[in-house]
Amino acid sequence: MTSPRADIRHAVSSWRQPCPPALSAERGALVEETARRVLARGAGRLLVGIDGFTAAGKTSFGHELAGRIAAVGRPVLRATLDDFKNPWKDRHLYDRESGEGYYRNAYDYEAVRRLLLDPCRSPAVTSCVLCAIDPLTQEDHSARTSPLAPDAVLIVDGVFAFRPGIDAYWDFRIWLDVAEELSVRRGAERDQDWAGSGAEAIHRDRYLAAERVYLREADPLPRMDLVIDNTEFAHPRVVAERNPPETR
């Protein structure tokens, strides 16, 4: 007897991306195995972080993983760290446009902890916030809560997910690996509509520069449970894993 499919609760953010269509049986099998490994961590609440360079495919992978986990009956919450950035109107108070400044100042980690991660880590708390500030409209959604089941799986994607201050929250850590230049190219193509001809410079001089600071200071890769080469979306492959499953 199979379990009924559980709900997936998404943030109200206008930044929300749709779940991508199935690209290949190969990708489906990798996502399914990842879901199995996450669920093997236990029956209570689980917090999963998905990190990697900009445009590595973090949000899409998070949606796919959520679908697999919900299919076996575990309720899922989906969030992205981009919905917890400091308000853009306050950017004159700090540097957010250089690589160093973006890493230090773009995100509101106090809000991430208070509204999302701490509630999910507290068994007695029954709701959390999936979006603080909409990154596009700048609308404040921090009073809008989502129910938090005792066995919910929270899947959060975003850059710098494993930096000091929030790294200790995760039960399972995933890194989507792509080359620096591929990140810049994909990101520039994605953001042409709002960044225009400056899209490549933003991705190279701000986002990639920030990633280099993060990698140098936080050194997250040794702590990953799973490192996935996501260069080809239809053909992802595991390149490193901690405590790999036994051969069956």
pTM: 0.95
> What pLDDT sits at residue 247?
40
Which tens digit of pLDDT belongs to each residue from 25-84?
999 999 999 999 999 999 999 999 999 999 999 999 999 999 999 999 999 999 999 999
Pair of tokens at residue 178: 């792509």
For the segment 137-153, the average pLDDT, to the nearest whole number, is: 97
Phi-psi region at 2: left, alpha or beta (left = phi > 0; alpha = psi -120 to 50): beta
Residues paired with 229 in a beta bridge: 177, 237
Q: Which domains does the chain have, with CATH numbers?
A: 8-179+221-239 (3.40.50.300)
The secondary element (H helix, E strand) that includes residue 204 is none
